[in-house]
Amino acid sequence: VERVVERVVEVPVDRVVEKRIEVPVEKIVEVPVERVVEVPVEKVVEVEKIVEVPVEKIVEVERIVEVPPKPVERDLSGCNPFVGFGLVESEKTKGRGNLPVETVWEHGPAYEAGLRLDDEIHQIGQTGQPIQSLNQVQNIIRSEARIGQPLRVAGVSRQTGKPYETQIIPRTTAPKAAQWNDIYYNTKANRKLGHSVKK
């Protein structure tokens, strides 16, 4: 059996030298920080807004205005109105309130208005009074008949027996008006129609 003996040998040390070793140490320095306050900020959204402004529709219209010619002044002094028909008064017509047509000029004012021979004329003009005499008819025509202006006539047609109302446009037979065809009536170029009134 082997025997092992551990032997401790003490070695004398003259001196112990302490060597200072500087080891760099990181130093953490706390710097005070101001308090950070979070302020809520409204969400900003940039929106491009298109605004439509109504604009009136402009339509260019070329308007042609016809200016009627200025009427020429007509000297009708001394020109009497011509109605183109004649009535007859007799003992048999007295008190009837109408007079029959005895004559009418062909294509004259009365003829163009529809009056025919033997028609019974009850009213002339705006008086509304029944016709009793030729004198009454002459007075009405003298006061109401105007060249180129309508003259009311009411009567009864002999052909149909129906009453009618029409407008006569008086003309004139004065030679000085011959230059105006719309108001001049030439008796020499037209016929006067007439015959005995039917009994």
Kindly write down the DSSP assignment for every residue of 79-141, as one continuous string. Answer: PPPB--EEE---GGGTTSS-EEEEEEETTSHHHHHT--TTPEEEEETTS-PPP--HHHHHHHH
Residue 59 has pLDDT above 90, yes or no: no
Tell me how far apart the alpha carbons of residues 115 and 122 are, in angstroms, rounded to a whole number.
12
Residue-wise pLDDT tens digits, 114-128: 999 999 999 999 988
Task: Using DSSP, state whether 13 is helix, strand or coil.
Answer: coil
pTM of the complete model beyond 0.75: no
Q: What tokens appear for 182 in the block?
A: 């719309």
Residue-wise pLDDT tens digits, 16-35: 566 666 656 566 656 565 66
